[in-house]
Structure 1
Amino acid sequence: MYHIKKAAELSGVSIKTLHHYDKIGLLVPVKSENGYRTYSQEDLERLQVILYYKYLGFSLDQIAELLAEEKSNLLPHLTKQLTYLTQERERLDTLISTLQKTIQEQKGERQMTIEEKFTGFSYQDTQKYHQEAVDKYGQEVMNQALERQKGREDEATRAFNQVFQTLSQNLKDGLPVSANENQDQAAKLLDAIRTYGFDCSIEFFGHIGKGYIYNPEFKENIDKFGAGTAQYTSDVIAHYVAHQPK
């Protein structure tokens, strides 16, 4: 058994945070008559799972729901988290490789294509709205989507990057968002999400388009294809969604 100070030291979590977890029912330790909190080995194992989910971007409410599904068995959570973290490592390896090539290019040691410059960015973005899709469609559906992606990361990257590159060029060429060329790209983007991610509805596609502007990370990554590309893409998607059959 561990008092709260020791539990905080072992986990790197502040005492204030542990108090909060207790208050919201996420991690409730045994309390003595004088109110002191004592954490068991099982409590610390649960805390480890909570911290993994937090690292993966899950909200505390989402973590509480996930843990409620498997109250007594943490193994399914650990297995699921290993899958997520392995995918995260693969994405980081891709971004590191892209960065190394960029450094070599800056030194004059190699040349990069425009596709190579953005390898790793847009696929990473699709994973960020993956959790939003979990909220809407449920974990089981999204687990199936994870299986769909395995071994196709490079293929997915090329598909998403091609859309953003084309839209960036269309923006430079002054094409209106309603242009057929842009609406074709919106359709390709939706198809890529459905192929490499999940069975995205038209409604949720519109939500994703808004996220390209309202989420600073999305906006920053897409604007790497050219200033204003995120807003342009969002507007193209909004027009596409508005003109789909209800």
Structure 2
Amino acid sequence: MNYKVKEVADLVGISIRTLHHYDELGLLSPAKITEAGYRLYSEEDLEQLQQILFFKELGFSLKNIKEIINSPNFDREEALLQQRKFLQEKKRRLENMIETLDKTIKYTRGEINMSDREKFEGFDFSKNPYEQEAREKWGDQAVDQANKKLEKLTAEGKKELGNEADEIYRNLAALKDKVSPASPEAQAAIKKWFDYLNSNFGDYSLQAFKGLGQMYVADERFTRNIDQYGDGLAKFMCKAMEFFTDSNTRT
């Protein structure tokens, strides 16, 4: 069954503008668009929207949600179990805060005494504890693995590795305004990047390679570093990596 935007908005209780915004971000794009331009959402789209809203309830930014659900390591059932765990922990924290609030009301009425420590039980102003665990599970594993390998290299080894990466980036930057990401030239250049990563940073599957490319545009840290070689290079590499993965998966 397909749903129009207004039907999804009414079903979920969010605004049409929010759904349009998710589409613009590439976070949730409808399965079909009619010839008249109407968005049609599938059951799978609704499932993804549910995932997005669970993460949003837990305090994740839209940028991080997109990064997580586009990760090659992302598994929907595992995510649901993890979200349940996070929400149970949030429930526990809220119950502690409600208990502190009830005590404070009684304290204000002069019915009980409260220590200064008791007045702040349940508060937690640390960085989102759920986000860090989720990013470690779905978003940053490839990056962390690469960093560990880099730490073991000598200064000369790091320099050689950097020069090799620099050459690949410059070659891709020279191509981005001349050919499409799917062109033979771009695909030959992106294969060098695929081989470079596998030779130096462990086993990158095709899907992991594709997911890494998606992170180049989803994570501003990647985009900023890569685009130093030329504006739009991160997006060009993302598309080239996606085409490379899909082409080699078919064969």
| TM-score, length-scaled by structure 1 | 0.51
Quote the offset at 1:140 in angstroms. Answer: 3.2
Partner residue of 1:96 out of 81, 95, 98 = 98
Secondary structure of the equivalent of 1:79?
A: helix
Alpha-carbon distance in structure 2 between the residues aligned to 1:104 and 1:91: 20
Structure of greater relative contact order (alpha carbons < 8 Å, 6+ residues apart): 2
Aligned to 2:40, the other structure's residue is in SS state strand
Instruction: After TM superposition, give the deviation of residue 125 of structure 1 in Å.
Output: 1.3
Residue 134 of structure 1 and its aligned partner are, at CA, apart by 6.0
1:140 lines up with 2:137 in the alignment: yes
Are 1:23 and 2:24 an aligned pair?
Answer: yes
Q: What do residues 149-183 of structure 1 show as CA deviations (whole Å, max 9, x unaligned)?
A: xxxxxxxxxxxxxxxxxxxxxxxxxxxxxxxxxxx
- How many positions carry a matched residue from both structures? 138
Larger radius of gyration: 2
From 55, 58, 61, the counterpart of 1:59:
61
Matched, 1:119 2:121: yes
RMSD: 2.7
Map of 1:86 onto structure 2: 88
Structure-2-length-normalised TM-score = 0.50
The percentage of aligned residue pairs carrying the same residue is 42
Q: Deviations over 1:31-87 (max 9, x none)?
A: 112211111111111101101111211111111111112688421221111111111
Aligned to 1:5: 6
Segments of 5+ residues of structure 2 without an aligned counterpart are 140-251
After superposition, the Cα gap between the structure-2 partners of 1:18 and 1:95, relative to the gap in structure 1 and judged at 3 Å, is same
**Of residues 41, 44, 47 in structure 2, which corresponds to 1:45?**
47
Letter in 1 for 2:85: T
Query: What one-letter code is carried by the residue in structure 2 that aligns with 1:3?
Result: K
SS in 2 for 1:125: coil
- Partners of 2:95 and 2:24 in 1: CA distance: 39
Cα distance in structure 2, aligned partners of 1:14 and 1:141: 29
Q: Using the TM superposition, give the Cα deviation of residue 4 of structure 1 relative to its aligned residue in structure 2, in angstroms.
A: 0.8
Tell me the residue number matched to 2:38.
Answer: 36
Flag the 1:73–1:129 CA change in 2: closer, same or farther, 3 A: closer
Deviations 1:107-144 (A, max 9, x none): 222111111111112xx21253663x569xx42399xx
